[in-house]
Amino acid sequence: MDIDKLLELDAKHVWHPYGPMPGTVEPLVVESASGVRLTLADGGELIDGMSSWWAAIHGYRHPVLDAALADQASRMSHVMFGGLTHQPAIALASTLVDLTPDGLEHVFLCDSGSVSVEVAIKMCLQYWRSLGRGGKRKLLTWRGGYHGDTFHPMSVCDPDGGMHALWRGVLPEQVFVPPPPSGFDSPLDESYVAALTDAIEQHADELAAVIVEPVVQGAGGMRFHNPGYLNALREATEANDVLLIFDEIATGFGRTGELFAAEHAGLTPDVLCVGKALTGGYMTMAATLCVPRVAEGISRGELPVLAHGPTFMGNPLASAVANASIGLLVESDWRSDLARLATELRRGLAPAADLSALVDVRVLGGIGVVQLDHAVDMAEATRVAVEHGVWLRPFRDMIYAMPPYIATEADLAAITRAMVAVAASA
């Protein structure tokens, strides 16, 4: 089928994420991908600066991941997880327990990142209900966050600046505090810590949990904060009998320079969500981990089971490729890779400092951000990036990149040149 026919059918039938129907921007047709490059149907080639929404950390068509997928498909593509189990899922759960912060012992395998947050919230709500404290059913979070597009996760996304303000009055009303002060290396603001602690104390009787993205607020604004605010949350939640959820869907598996962002603060949340890079971008899969206290509390309740069971939970194909992806990561010199990404992103984005519309340039691990003083026209930004041979997906006032960890210095130079060009033209 030729490209024009494909695009005609796409426009007629395919509803793309965060877009109208019919679409107003013609998408690019990708024919194949290998390494860090996307090959377009018209023969063009783009360096992927987004890792397919932050998931394809090893790039595309990695022989180890391809082999894991093919081998598992030759054995069993899927089997229901209710009453049955299998080696790939057991191995994955065991590996996640070993890799994540100490104390997280139980793993619920999910379909996607949003579902893992749904499960995390459900765990916390059901925990308190099981203990006879059903009034503890609200969540506290800081503004500027993003936790997914299903309903309970939408309720803890930023209520004003996020995409979900449309649903005000329909979603549960949660407790919001100001976002943590910006700057990974900025000194801890003790007045903010005091206000954060006070908010948790004031609402303790109604709070089931606090949920935050540790260290990096992703789709809500690509903001970095001092890990010390996580320690303040841990102290305040423990002191006030409130559970703590970390959403590491975007930050897990090395993206911030630590295997998990919680490690910057040296602490363990009660519940942890992971996804995206879990399968190296090959399959949709996520996981929700919890400490024994949460599982034991639910097991003592009137309904002594977690009331959740996705059809494709523990999918063997996704589990097998996740095991292979994690193996690739931990057996590699991933710290050096992330340090190299950070160095090249800083070097390549340095010219952005001269832009008159610049608000900030920031880099942490494998994340590079150029923030402007106005919103970016996505269609125009895409055009400029593609002219420079790079695929980027700016949003709001930010041009950012999260490249695959295998990106070379030349790849990163091309990505940052495109980012600066987009910023200069915006």
CATH of residue 45's domain is 3.90.1150.10
Give the mean pLDDT of 216-238: 95
Give the mean pLDDT of 142-161: 91
Give the mean pLDDT of 310-335: 97
- Cα of first residue to Cα of last residue in the chain, in angstroms, is 35
Give the mean pLDDT of 42-56: 97
Give the mean pLDDT of 393-415: 97
Is residue 416 assigned to a domain?
A: yes
Is residue 69 assigned to a domain?
A: no
> Which listed residue (48, 136, 138, 146) is catalytic?
146
> Which listed residue (60, 136, 158, 276) is catalytic?
276
Is residue 317 assigned to a domain?
A: yes
Q: What is the DSSP string of 27-94?
A: PPPEEEEEBTEEEETTS-EEEESSHHHHT-TT-BS-HHHHHHHHHHHTT-S----SS---HHHHHHHH
Q: Are residues 245 and 263 in the same domain?
A: yes
Answer yes or no: is pLDDT of 162 > 80: no
Is residue 395 assigned to a domain?
A: yes
Answer yes or no: is pLDDT of 293 > 70: yes
pLDDT on residue 166 = 83
Is residue 67 assigned to a domain?
A: no
Q: Are residues 190 and 140 in the same domain?
A: yes
Give the mean pLDDT of 293-312: 94
pLDDT on residue 220 = 82
Could you say which of 331, 350, 385 is where a domain stops?
A: 331
> Which listed residue (247, 270, 337, 411) is catalytic?
247
Q: Are residues 237 and 280 in the same domain?
A: yes
The rounded Cα 69 to chain-centroid distance in angstroms is 23
18 classed as catalytic? yes
Give the mean pLDDT of 192-209: 98
pLDDT on residue 206 = 98
Q: Are residues 97 and 136 in the same domain?
A: yes
Q: Are residues 190 and 315 in the same domain?
A: yes
Q: Are residues 267 and 415 in the same domain?
A: no
Answer yes or no: is pLDDT of 107 > 80: yes
* Confidence at 160, pLDDT banded by 50, 70, 90: confident
Inter-residue contact 357 to 422 (CB < 8 Å): no
Answer yes or no: is pLDDT of 315 > 80: yes
Tokens of 281: 């971008």
| CATH at residue 178 | 3.40.640.10
Give the mean pLDDT of 302-320: 94
pLDDT in tens, 14-25: 999 988 998 888
Answer yes or no: is pLDDT of 319 > 80: yes
Is residue 66 assigned to a domain?
A: no
Whole-angstrom Cα distance, residue 27 to residue 23? 9
Whole-angstrom Cα distance, residue 198 to residue 360? 31
Report the percentage of the chain scoring pLDDT > 90.
Answer: 93
Which residue range forms the structural domain that includes residue 291?
76-331
Q: Is 346 helix (H, G, I), strand (E, B) or coil?
A: helix
Q: Are residues 365 and 298 in the same domain?
A: no
Could you say which of 301, 331, 361 is where a domain stops?
A: 331
Q: Are residues 224 and 342 in the same domain?
A: no
Q: Are residues 156 and 123 in the same domain?
A: yes
> Which listed residue (18, 185, 333, 354) is catalytic?
18
Could you say which of 331, 349, 381 is where a domain stops?
A: 331
Q: Are residues 320 and 341 in the same domain?
A: no
pLDDT on residue 324 = 98
Whole-angstrom Cα distance, residue 149 to residue 69? 28
Is residue 70 assigned to a domain?
A: no
Inter-residue contact 85 to 308 (CB < 8 Å): no
Give the mean pLDDT of 377-381: 93
Is residue 291 assigned to a domain?
A: yes
146 classed as catalytic? yes
Q: Are residues 310 and 349 in the same domain?
A: no
Q: Are residues 16 and 93 in the same domain?
A: no
- The count of domains in the chain is 2
Tokens of 132: 């006879």
pLDDT on residue 163 = 67
Whole-angstrom Cα distance, residue 235 to residue 211? 14
* Confidence at 232, pLDDT banded by 50, 70, 90: very high
pLDDT on residue 219 = 87
Give the mean pLDDT of 107-118: 96
The residue ranking higher by pLDDT, 220 or 418, is: 418
Per the prediction, the chain carries an average pLDDT of 96
